[in-house]
Structure 1
Amino acid sequence: MKVAADHRSGNSFLDFLLSFVADCSKFQSGYVALIGKPNVGKSTLLNGIIGQKLSIVTAKPQTTRHRILGICSGPNYQMILYDTPGVITKQMHKLDELMMKSVRSATINSDCLLLIADICHPPEQVLGTLDEGAVNLIKSKPTLLVLNKKDKVKQSEIQKKQEWYEKNSGMDEVIPVSAKFGLGIEEVKQWLVSKLPLGPAYYPRDIVSEHQERFFVSEIFREKIFQLYREEIPYCSQVNVVRYVEREAPAKDFIEIEILVEKESQKAILLGKEGKALKTLATAARLDIEDFVDRKCYLEIKVKVKEDWRKNEELLEHFGYSGKIASASL
């Protein structure tokens, strides 16, 4: 979009404006929030719609903490998707409270919604875990109920559950999918495009997220913690990219990472005997980070104890849970 050149001629600038208005009359764009309980496959679905991995995925619930923004662009549309934390009714820490605020904010700011449920579970009222305000918001917007993980159940069961939800959920439409294997993804995309309002693209069409590389580096590292550690360690760990220095090849990029936990005992588990567990973690994370940034990387990792960081509102805002991504060390 060459605005500077258009200012030189009144006619050319007018032509530009007319062209822009014409594009807006044909182009569709808008925001989509993915809402659902923990571990129903929201992140996998977002990755499938965009066509590449942005949100981290593990078998453990509440993997997603931040509201991840992904961008899917086509010739005549652009959808901006919010992958949100899983909806929980019992909030144990300030972190849980801020994550639920993030879900509500995404719901408010969206043009349409994807409500995701696990088809493997018995049919239930999908709006039952949400408060009245959230339910009213959802009912006021175009909403698609996505029944995920259909690859795990028989076709006859899929049909029965789809019919139950079509009669009892109150949603505009119900589509069974397997986000893991890409089944039904195109049908979901077509539904979304049909509901997007007219308007220009909000972002350049060649990008898939507004987040910086260092955000995804921290997310990849956190994903490996979820995959390699058990019990409370994934949930009490915070990963911050303190410094990221890109270097000319063949030199490796330098990435300084700090991992915060709440207790010395958790730090000991994270490190492992003679630091072996941390070395395994670092290797697994480095390989995925190098694949993501398409460059060789050197990681410097420090593990620190910050007591009750999940209850500290000031710290949580510093770490980006108020909606902004922060990466500076304390």
Structure 2
Amino acid sequence: MSQDSTPDTQRRSGMVALVGRPNVGKSTLVNALVGEKVSIVTPKPQTTRHRIIGVLTEGETQIALVDTPGMHSQQKTALNRVMNETAVASLAGIDVVLFMVEAGQWRDEDAAALARLARLPCPVGLIVNKTDRFKDKTELLPFMEKASTQRAFDFVVPLSAQRRDNLPALMHELTSRMPDGPYLFPEDEYTDRNMRFLAAEAVREKLTLFLQQELPYSVAIEIESFESGPEQLEIHACIWVARDNHKSIVIGKGGAMLKKIGRAARLDLVHRLDHRVDLRLWVKVRDNWIDSEAAVRELGH
């Protein structure tokens, strides 16, 4: 049924924030529920840096899923502090919070993240992710019982976001808690972010996947130009690094690494945007930008 043909009084819509420590699967769950690649995903913690909304519209209900940076205790850099601030600020005006943990793993950072939710007036559900790692699900029961006592949760759902196991149970909990009201987004949209942002994130995802452990955390992407022509998109992106030696690592011997990153990002964008893409990358140094809050915000965080 089209958006115009259904009265707003018959519709329900609301905001759902996913919170938790880094690397528990928040972005994977958003992508699984929406059915589109809303957020980039890598095996490395703190991949998500921004507040990103994935929009799920089913029947007469629309759920805006707010993916947030992982809440972490260590705030060594300005980038860490801004990411934590973003995660906390994302809780304003939320109708339901999904507090996510990793099955069988309760850490100090989980407790610290949960403490930030203490005064929230909205329902908070406990999502136990990565249950597929347990062949015998009865082995999970002691962990779930213990985790459930950390707060008076409104509901508890075990699931595997990667395998999309038990997502209908979560959808039932969310749908039943959405307030009456008009859609917050056009029903044919699946994210609040534009193509420039998606292009920058595609490049950062490949950097995170291909580069050594620490380097991706001191890299930022700035789209310098984005032109949509009749035949292809022309995108020029700058990869900002924090040190001179990082620049040579990103470029690689004979430019091999930069070509590898650009090729993978371009193919990803062609698939996602269904359009030919000409992607050109440059690498520039901005000394220790991750330690400057002004620089962090200037680079889009």
Name the TM tier (shorter chain).
Answer: over 0.9
Instruction: Letter of the 1:147 partner, please give it.
Output: V
Q: Does the CA-based 8 Å contact 1:120-1:152 persist in structure 2?
A: no
**In the alignment, what sits opposite 2:283?**
303
CA offset at residue 168 of structure 1?
A: 4.3
**Higher Cα Rg: structure 1 or 2?**
1
SS at match of 1:25: helix
- The partner residue of 1:128 within 108, 111, 116 is 111
**In the alignment, what sits opposite 1:141?**
122
**In the alignment, what sits opposite 1:219?**
201
Deviations 1:61-95 (A, max 9, x none): 00000111111112211111110011101101111
Deviations 1:15-52 (A, max 9, x none): x9xx98xx343321111110011100000000011111
TM-score, normalised to structure 1, is 0.85
CA distance in structure 1 between the aligned counterparts of 2:197 and 2:209, rounded to whole angstroms: 19
CA offset at residue 127 of structure 1?
A: 5.8
CA distance in structure 2 between the aligned counterparts of 1:103 and 1:84, rounded to whole angstroms: 5
1:258 aligns with 2:238: yes
- The partner residue of 2:49 within 58, 61, 65 is 65
In percent, how many aligned pairs have the same letter? 32
Q: Which runs of 5+ in 1 are unaligned?
A: 1-15, 322-330
In structure 2, the CA distance between the partners of 1:295 and 1:86, relative to structure 1 (3 Å rule), is same
CA offset at residue 301 of structure 1?
A: 1.0
Q: Does the CA-based 8 Å contact 1:244-1:256 persist in structure 2?
A: yes
Deviations 1:269-324 (A, max 9, x none): 11111111111111111111111111111111110000111122222222222xxx
CA offset at residue 149 of structure 1?
A: 0.4
**In the alignment, what sits opposite 2:250?**
270
SS at match of 1:136: coil
Structure 1 window deviating more from structure 2 (181-190 vs 307-316): it is 307-316
CA offset at residue 109 of structure 1?
A: 2.4
1:197 aligns with 2:179: yes
Q: Does the CA-based 8 Å contact 2:20-2:113 persist in structure 1?
A: no
Runs of 4+ in 1 over 3 A off after TM superposition: 123-127, 166-169
Q: Does the CA-based 8 Å contact 1:218-1:240 persist in structure 2?
A: yes
SS at match of 1:297: strand
Q: What do you get for the CA RMSD once the two structures are aligned?
A: 1.9
**In the alignment, what sits opposite 2:86?**
102
CA distance in structure 1 between the aligned counterparts of 2:176 and 2:29, rounded to whole angstroms: 18
Instruction: Letter of the 1:311 partner, please give it.
Output: D
Structure 1 window deviating more from structure 2 (303-312 vs 166-175): it is 166-175
**In the alignment, what sits opposite 1:243?**
225
SS at match of 1:216: helix
User: Which structure is richer in relative contact order (CA contacts within 8 A, separation 6 or more)?
Assistant: 2
Instruction: Letter of the 1:218 partner, please give it.
Output: A
CA offset at residue 126 of structure 1?
A: 7.8
SS at match of 2:72: coil
Instruction: Letter of the 2:241 partner, please give it.
Output: V
**In the alignment, what sits opposite 1:9?**
none
CA distance in structure 2 between the aligned counterparts of 1:152 and 1:169, rounded to whole angstroms: 25
Q: Does the CA-based 8 Å contact 1:241-1:258 persist in structure 2?
A: yes
In structure 2, the CA distance between the partners of 1:126 and 1:38, relative to structure 1 (3 Å rule), is closer
CA distance in structure 1 between the aligned counterparts of 2:204 and 2:119, rounded to whole angstroms: 32
1:210 aligns with 2:192: yes
SS at match of 2:169: helix
Q: How many residues align?
A: 297
Q: Does the CA-based 8 Å contact 1:40-1:118 persist in structure 2?
A: yes
CA offset at residue 124 of structure 1?
A: 5.8
CA offset at residue 182 of structure 1?
A: 0.5
SS at match of 1:60: coil
Q: Does the CA-based 8 Å contact 2:157-2:170 persist in structure 1?
A: yes
**In the alignment, what sits opposite 1:114?**
98
Instruction: Letter of the 2:112 partner, please give it.
Output: T
Q: Does the CA-based 8 Å contact 2:52-2:192 persist in structure 1?
A: no
Deviations 1:215-257 (A, max 9, x none): 01111110101110012211111011111111212xx321101
CA distance in structure 1 between the aligned counterparts of 2:219 and 2:201, rounded to whole angstroms: 12
Q: Does the CA-based 8 Å contact 2:202-2:265 persist in structure 1?
A: yes
SS at match of 1:222: helix
TM-score, normalised to structure 2, is 0.93
CA distance in structure 2 between the aligned counterparts of 1:39 and 1:29, rounded to whole angstroms: 28
